[in-house]
Amino acid sequence: MLKYRNITFIGAGSMAEAMISGLINKEGIAPNQITAANHSNIQRRIELIDKYEINAVSFDEVSLNNTDMIILAVKPKQAELVLQQLKPNLQDHHIILSVLAGISTGFMEEIITKELPVIRVMPNTSSMIGESITGISAGKYVNKDHLDLAQELSEAIGKVKVISEKHMDVFTGIAGSGPAYFYYLLEHMEEVAVEKGMDREIARDIAAQTLYGASKMVIETSNSPEELRKKVTSPNGTTAAGLLALDENGGGKAIEAAVENAAKRSKTLREEFEKVPVR
C-alpha cells in the first residue's frame, strides 16, 4: 500500500510539484514520505519545503536507501545521464516510475541493467487538484503488485488508464499535453469577451465553467460528445453559426493536428534521446 511507501522525485519542476500537491492532499500520504531532488536550484527546494513540508535535496545529496519508489521527473533529454548516475545506488526493492514523455521502458531497463520494475506514468498538471487522467504502462520486470502500486499512486492524483506502451505517444498527445489545448481555447474565448467590453475575470469564469460543465456532461451522462453537441445546436441558431465558423477556419482539423503533432514529438523525443547506453 502506498501509505507505507517512501517516494523520491528526481526532478522538482512543474510536473513533480503537481504530483506532490495531489499526493499530499490525499489522505494517507504524509509529506515526510516524499523527497524531491533537483539539480541546483536551492530557492526552488526551499519553496517546496515551505509549501508542502516535504523533504527537498540536491541530486548529489539524494539517498535511495529509504526509498521505495523513484519517480523520474526530469526532462527527457536528461534521462540517460540521470539513470546512469542513479544506477550504482539502485536496490532490489526499488520501483522506478517515469513521467518522461517519449522515453521507453526498454531504454531505461537497458541503462539500469538490474531487473527492476520500470513503469511509465503519463499524468498531467491537473494532478495538482487530483484531476489528472494518467496513463500507465509496464516494463518487462513489472509484476501485479508493482502495477497495483503505480495504479494506487496514479489514483491519488486523479483517474487512471492502464495502456499498452505503443499507445503512450498518442496518450501523451491527448492527455499529457491536453490541458494546454484547453487553456489555449479558454484564452481565446476570454479574449473575445474582453474585446467586447466584458470584465476579464468574469469572462474567464464563464469560459472555464462552460468547459467544466461540458466535460462533466461527457463523463457523467451516457451521451457521446457528438450527441451532446447536437443537443446544443438548434437549427439555424447561434451554435450552428459558431460551429460553421469553426469548420470554415479548420477548427476540427487544427485540434486533430495538435494531438497528432504532440504524439509525433513524443516519438521523436525517443529517437533523439535514446542512444545506446554505455555500460
Ligand X SMILES: O=C(O)[C@@H]1CCC=N1
Give me the residues that bind ligand X (CB under 6 A), please: 101, 172, 176-177
Instruction: State which of residues 14, 89, 223, 224 lies at the interface with ligand NAI (CB under 6 A).
Output: 14
Residue 214: what residue type? Answer: A
Instruction: State which of residues 74, 83, 97, 111 lies at the interface with ligand NAI (CB under 6 A).
Output: 74
Closer to ligand X by Cβ: residue 183 or 212 = 183
β-strand partners of 120: 98, 137
How big is the site for ligand NAI, counted in residues (CB under 6 A)? 26
Closer to ligand NAI by Cβ: residue 124 or 151 = 124
Closer to ligand X by Cβ: residue 116 or 122 = 122
| Interaction of residue 101 with ligand NAI, rule CB under 6 A | yes
Closer to ligand NAI by Cβ: residue 33 or 124 = 124
Which residues, 6+ apart, have CB-to-CB distance to 4 below 8 Å?
none
For residue 198, give the C-alpha cell: 466584458
For residues 95, 97, 103, 108, the Cα torsion angle rounded to the nearest 10 degrees is -10
For residues 57, 55, 105, 159, the Cα torsion angle rounded to the nearest 10 degrees is -150
For residue 85, give the C-alpha cell: 548516475
Write down the least CB distance from residue 31 to ligand X, Å.
25
Closer to ligand X by Cβ: residue 117 or 173 = 173
Closer to ligand NAI by Cβ: residue 122 or 142 = 122
β-strand partners of 229: none
Closer to ligand NAI by Cβ: residue 6 or 78 = 78
Instruction: State which of residues 25, 26, 31, 39 lies at the interface with ligand NAI (CB under 6 A).
Output: 39
For 83-91, the CB contacts below 8 A with 24+ separation are 83/108, 83/111, 83/112, 84/111, 84/277, 84/278, 85/59, 86/10, 86/112, 87/111, 87/112, 87/113, 87/114, 89/63, 89/64, 90/64, 90/114, 90/116, 91/64, 91/65
| Interaction of residue 100 with ligand NAI, rule CB under 6 A | yes
Write down the least CB distance from residue 177 to ligand X, Å.
5
| Interaction of residue 11 with ligand NAI, rule CB under 6 A | yes
Residues 107-166 that bind ligand NAI (CB under 6 A): 122-125
β-strand partners of 49: none
β-strand partners of 98: 72, 120
| Interaction of residue 22 with ligand NAI, rule CB under 6 A | no
95 binds, among ligand NAI, ligand X, none (CB under 5 to 8 A by kind): none
Residues that bind ligand NAI (CB under 6 A): 10-16, 37-39, 41, 59, 73-76, 78, 82, 99-101, 122-125, 176
